[in-house]
């Protein structure tokens, strides 16, 4: 196996809005010698996002960006991405929609994780909708971000069984465990082709 260190790794950013368990798992993965990524920047649209503790603990540069004005927010974000020479962006529970213009600038370089088996249940409240529709399975999907919400090319998916006793919360917790494993695998899959 090839060992990658320091500058030979690809500079990446993770965007978050909250808890940050996916950020945590991506950070852990990035530290492996065989991983091609170096997380250089964390962007949060919320100053009190819990996930920022993982950026702090790992001494990763982080920026909180106010989204009162989307245009201004994206201009600021682009400035930070340029400064840190970011090549890939991983959305990890980032609950803001990126503009078409922004997505064009990072074509096929933005990856997202979504808590459903896309193309089913795009958008919000995925767990409740799957349970209400009496689905036998839900799960999670890692996909490229395209201009249409939750519709970009799928990289990897993981199925999770829905049980009769499941609530939105219990299902969300089980899916999250799979998300945390799936995201690094999907990143690896994309970057192994580069």
Binding site for ligand GAR (CB under 6 A): 16, 18-22, 51, 92-93, 113-115, 176, 179
- For residue 43, give both structure tokens: 């962007």
Comparing C-alpha atoms, which of 45, 41, 19 is closest to residue 30? 41
Q: Minimal distance in Å, beta carbon 193 to ligand GAR?
A: 24
Q: Minimal distance in Å, beta carbon 194 to ligand GAR?
A: 24
Q: Minimal distance in Å, beta carbon 113 to ligand GAR?
A: 5
| Distance separating alpha carbons of residues 172 and 176, to the nearest angstrom | 6
| Shortest-Cβ-distance residue relative to ligand GAR | 93
Cβ neighbours around 107 below 10 Å, total:
11
Q: Where are the alpha helices (DSSP H) in the chain?
A: 21-30, 52-57, 70-83, 100-105, 126-132, 168-191
Q: Minimal distance in Å, beta carbon 95 to ligand GAR?
A: 6
Annotation marks residue 50 as catalytic? no
| Distance separating alpha carbons of residues 106 and 112, to the nearest angstrom | 13
Among residues 16 and 131, whose Cβ is nearest to ligand GAR? 16
Among residues 85 and 185, whose Cβ is nearest to ligand GAR? 185
Q: Minimal distance in Å, beta carbon 115 to ligand GAR?
A: 4
Q: Using CB atoms within 10 Å of the CB of residue 57, give its burial: 0 to 12 exposed, 13 to 18 middle, 19+ buried.
A: exposed
Radius of gyration over every alpha carbon of the chain, rounded to an integer in angstroms: 16
Among residues 2 and 97, whose Cβ is nearest to ligand GAR? 97
Comparing C-alpha atoms, which of 130, 108, 132 is closest to residue 174? 130
Distances (CA, A) of 53 to 21, 39, 61, 142, 181: 11, 15, 12, 24, 20
Q: Could you give the residue numbers annotated as active site?
A: 114
């Amino acid at each position: 196996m090839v060992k990658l260190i320091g500058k030979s790794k690809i500079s990446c950013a993770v965007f978050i809005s909250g808890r940050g368990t996916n950020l945590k798992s991506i950070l852990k993965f990035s530290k492996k010698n065989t991983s091609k990524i170096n997380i250089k920047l964390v962007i949060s649209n919320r100053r009190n996002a819990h996930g920022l503790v993982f950026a702090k603990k790992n001494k990763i540069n982080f920026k909180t960006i106010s989204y009162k004005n989307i245009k201004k927010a994206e201009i600021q974000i682009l400035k930070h991405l340029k400064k840190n020479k970011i090549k890939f962006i991983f959305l990890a529970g980032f609950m803001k929609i990126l503009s078409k213009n922004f997505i064009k600038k990072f074509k096929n370089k933005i990856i997202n994780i979504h808590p459903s088996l896309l193309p089913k249940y795009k958008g919000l409240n995925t767990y409740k909708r799957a349970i209400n529709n009496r689905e036998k399975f839900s799960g999670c999907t890692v996909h490229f971000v395209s201009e249409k919400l939750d519709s970009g090319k799928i990289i990897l998916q993981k199925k999770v069984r829905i049980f009769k006793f499941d609530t939105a919360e219990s299902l969300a917790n089980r899916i999250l465990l799979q998300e945390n494993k799936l995201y690094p695998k999907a990143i690896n899959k994309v970057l192994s082709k580069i």
